[in-house]
Amino acid sequence: MQLRTLNGDIAKFTSRGEAAARGLSDFMARDTSVAYTFVAPAFFLLLFLVAYPFVLSIWFSLSDARVGETGSFVGLDNFQRLLRSDIFRQTLKNSLVFTSIALLLKTIFGMALALLLFRVARFKRLIRGAVLLPFIVPTALSTLVWWWMFEPLYSVVNWTLKSLHVVNKDIPWLPDPYLAMFTVILVNTWRGLPFFAITLLAGLVAIPREMYEAAESDGAGPVGRFWYVTVPLLKPVLAVVILFSAIFTLADFNIVYILTKGGPMNMTHLFATYSFALGLQGGQIGQGAAVSLFLFPILLGVVFTQLRLVRKSTTYE
């Protein structure tokens, strides 16, 4: 029996290994194929680890799924029910307050820290490494230390303040709703600051020295140099950092879960902690998914505008 290929040649029987090797080398010879081959693992990883769970969670949010049950389609019922819940409305408020204040603080202090680090000449590496620590230490661990510092009975912060006669009674860091919010914002800021500082520092290093020299010779002082050289040139970096941080901050879970569990009186519940309480503790996966997806459309808008802004500001005229 003869085997014929499409163009009529008689196919030669070759050992399987040889054919595969030749096929592979032909395939690899094409640039685009190579590109696709190398992109494929990342693509499949994204598909299975990001896209699949994401689509699944959208389905969950539109269904009455419970743990172990796929549930049936209920439209926007979950979202409507959430909007009727006072706890959810409180969570929404908390999340917005938490994210905006923490972002603002991280931007201001992150910028200040980056400028300081930029000026540090001795022990540069050691100091830059040390600054990254809050970001590297597992959040659950570092937050436990913060909890211990603010814990009502043994708070070292209160003990120190009382010993220094700054206050004469315990400050209710975690029991007071507003102070509790302040505390979770503080810890989030502390944790996120290195990310801002180090990324902005990288941006600062990339700014050509000539720009500053030119500004200086034009008579610009330190403030002028900061506003008219540093800030405009850092804008793209800053926008990306704020974008990432906004997403991370909004999705924070560990800090609130360890410090307050969403209390007192739900005044520190964030989307993630409330979603956990509903979806995993209560087994109402549909409701839980609706909580975590609630801000998705808004977030999408923010990401879109911010990325557009970044693109615009990087094209120099």
Partner 1 sequence: MVNRRHFLRVTAGGAAGVLVAGGAPAIAQTRELTFLTIASFVPETDKELKRQFEDWGAKNKVKVRLDIIAHLQLVTKKASEVQARSGHDLTALGPGLGDADLYFDHLVDLNDVAADIAPKNGGWLNQNDYLIRGKWKLLPWWMPPFPMAVRTDLLEQIGEKNPDTWEDWLRVGKKGKAIGHPFGTAMGHSGDANVTLLSIMWSYGASYVAKDGKTIAINSPQTRQAMEFVKRLYTEAMDPEVVAWDDASNNRCLNAGKCIAIHNPISAYESAKRDKVLVPGTQKEIADVIDHVNTPRGPVDRRTTTGYWCVGIWNFAKNVDLAKDFLRYHFQPDNQARWVEAGHGFNMPFLTNLTKHPVYKSDKQYRYIPEVAKVSVPPSWPGPTTAASQQVLDLFIIPDMFAQHATGKMTVDQAIAWAEKEIQEIYAGRKRKF
Asked whether position 69 contacts partner 1 by CB under 8 A, the answer is: yes
Q: What is the CA radius of gyration of the chain?
A: 27
Of 25-33, 109-117, 167-175, 203-211, the segment contacting partner 1 by CB under 8 A is 167-175
Question: Does the protein bind partner 1 through residue 143 (CB under 8 A)?
Answer: no
> By C-alpha distance, which of 172, 190, 175, 231 is closest to 102?
190
User: Which of 225/261 has CB closer to partner 1?
Assistant: 261
* Region of residue 280 (phi > 0: left; psi between -120 and 50: alpha; otherwise: beta): alpha
> How many other C-beta atoms are found inside a 10 Å radius of the C-beta of residue 59?
15
Least Å distance between CB 179 and partner 1?
10
Which of 157, 170, 228, 240 contacts partner 1 by CB under 8 A?
170
The residue to which tokens 């040649």 are assigned: 9
Contact flag: residue 163 with partner 1 (CB under 8 A): no
Q: How far is the CB of 83 from partner 1 (least distance, A)?
A: 11
Q: Residues 152, 208, 232, 301: which binds partner 1 (CB under 8 A)?
A: 152
Determine, following the binding rule CB under 8 A, whether residue 24 of this chain makes contact with partner 1.
Answer: no
Please choose, out of 197-205, 209-217, 234-242, 255-263, the segment that lies near partner 1 by the rule CB under 8 A.
Answer: 255-263
What gap in Å lies between CA 62 and CA 287, rounded to an integer? 9
* Three-state secondary-structure class, residue 170: coil
Name the minimum Å distance from CB 64 to partner 1: 8
Helices assigned H by DSSP within the chain: 16-29, 31-46, 52-61, 77-84, 86-119, 124-136, 139-150, 156-163, 177-206, 209-217, 222-225, 231-250, 254-259, 271-275, 285-293, 296-314
What residue ranges bind partner 1 (CB under 8 A)? Answer: 66-69, 81, 84-87, 151-154, 170, 172, 174-177, 180, 260-266, 277-278, 280-284, 287
